Amino acid sequence: MRAGLAAVLFDLDGTLIDSAPDLAAAANEMRGRRQLPALPFAQLRPHAGSGARGMLGAALAMHPGDAGYEALRHEFLQRYEARMLVLTRPFEAAPALLDTLDRHAVPWGIVTNKALRLAHPVAQALGLLPRARALVGGDSTAHAKPHPAPLLEAARLLGHAPQACVYVGDDPRDMQAARAAGMGALAAAWGYLGPDQPVHAWGADGVLEHPAQLLNWLELA
C-alpha cells in the first residue's frame, strides 16, 4: 500500500454506482406530468451527481430558493425512491476493485450526500453492505459535502486518522471536502463530473480514468 495510507473512502453515485438512469427517469417522469417532452439522458447525466438539486435544475429550471422548489424536491425524491433500483448498477469495474481491496485487507467506506434512508437500501441491494466499514450519508452529520464533517466521521468509523485516508469522488465538492478533511483526493473521471469545471482543474492528487487505476495509485497492482 502507498506509504502513509491505510484506508479508502468512496463517493457513491457516479463513483461506485451508476444511478443516473434512475435519477434521469424520475426527472423525466416529472416533465411528463407537466406535459413536457422527455430530455435526452445525455443532457441529464452530468447533473446526476447533484441529486435532486441537479435534476430539478436541469429538467425544470428550478433551483433552491425558487418559489415552489421544496414541493418539487419532495415530489422528485418520492418518484426516485419508488424506482431507485430499477436501472441502477455498480459501475462495471467497481466490484473487482472492491474485491481487490478486500483481498489486501484495505478497509474502505462510503461517504455520500444521498440521505441515509436512500443510500442504505441502495448500497445493501448492490452488495456494498456489509462489506463497507462505514456508510455516511448526507444527513449523518450536521453538514454535507463539501464540508469535511462527513469524511471525518467516516475516518472515525474506520478507526484511522484522516491523513491516512484517500477519498475518491466524481464532483469538485468531493475534492474540496477531502482537502478540508486533510485527506488525499482522487477524481473519478468515469463519473458524472458536473457541467462546470473540467476534471483536471479540480486540484485532485490524481485523475483516475478507470476504477482499476486506483490500484496502481495505491501501489497494489
Known active-site residue 11 = yes
Q: Which residues contact 200 (CB under 8 A, 6 or more apart)?
A: 207
CA–CA dist 74, 58 (Å, integer): 16
From 11, 18, 170, 171, active-site residue? 11
Strands, sheet with 108-111, edge to edge from the N-terminal-most edge strand: 135-136, 108-111, 7-10, 165-169, 184-188, 206-208
Residues 168, 179: contact at Cβ < 8 Å? no
CA–CA dist 166, 181 (Å, integer): 10
CA–CA dist 173, 183 (Å, integer): 13
Q: Write out the catalytic residue numbers.
A: 11
